[in-house]
Amino acid sequence: MATALRFGPLGKDTLHLCIDMQTLFAERTDWHVPWLERVLPTALRLAEVHAACTVFTRFVPPEYPEEAVGSWRRYYEHWRHMTREELNPRLVELVPPLAALAPPATVVDKRHYSPFKEAAFRQVLTRRVTSGLVITGAETDVCVLAAVMDAVDAGYRVVLAEDALCSVSDESHDAMLRHFSARFSQQVEVASTEEILASWR
């Protein structure tokens, strides 16, 4: 699946967007992503090399389901024990190796799948005059998917680090990478962490 970055080296205005690499998904909660631990070293390597250009997101559930609107309320009524009323606050934190990088890395909390819904994230993009995003994190077929589609719509160059993404579903993860490569070939590049690091000096 890995391909060279066909649109050339990554510019200095590139950001590493690391999505939801949190204890909530790393430990054996009902939202456990079993192979988050497997991709953590590659996401960590990218973040260490480009810490000042890294933005970590954290998915933060509401305190109560009643705080959510529309289908989100139904969602949190189903997952009531995953709301902050019942959740250990420690679980919302980034996994410790990544948390240690902030600062200089930036942390943005989000209430939705895509960070583009949060004003704080959009402000980071504007302040840094960002033109490209290297995306890592969880999950390929949920929050990463939402971020990719919003980034494409906004005109950003999008590079997915295929060995630093994870999902609870191997089949869905693989299907999404094939889909991005096939249907968004002019807007989304899929590459290995090694290729990304070699192209982002």
pLDDT digits (tens, 9 = 90+) for 143-190: 999 999 999 999 999 999 999 999 999 999 999 999 999 999 999 999
What pLDDT sits at residue 182?
A: 92
Helical axes 170-183 vs 143-153, angle rounded to 10°: 10
Residue 4 has pLDDT above 90, yes or no: no
For the chain, which residues make up each domain, given as ranges?
A: 14-199
Architecture of the domain defined by 14-199: 3-Layer(aba) Sandwich (3.40)
Contact 191, 42 (CB under 8 A): no
Contact 191, 161 (CB under 8 A): yes
Name the token pair of 141: 């077929």
What pLDDT sits at residue 39?
A: 97
Residue 125 has pLDDT above 60, yes or no: yes
Q: Tell me the pLDDT band of 60, cut-offs 50, 70 and 90.
A: very high
* CA 49 to the chain's CA centroid: 17
- pTM above 0.85? yes
| Segments in 27-132 forming alpha helices (H) | 36-49, 71-78, 96-99, 119-127
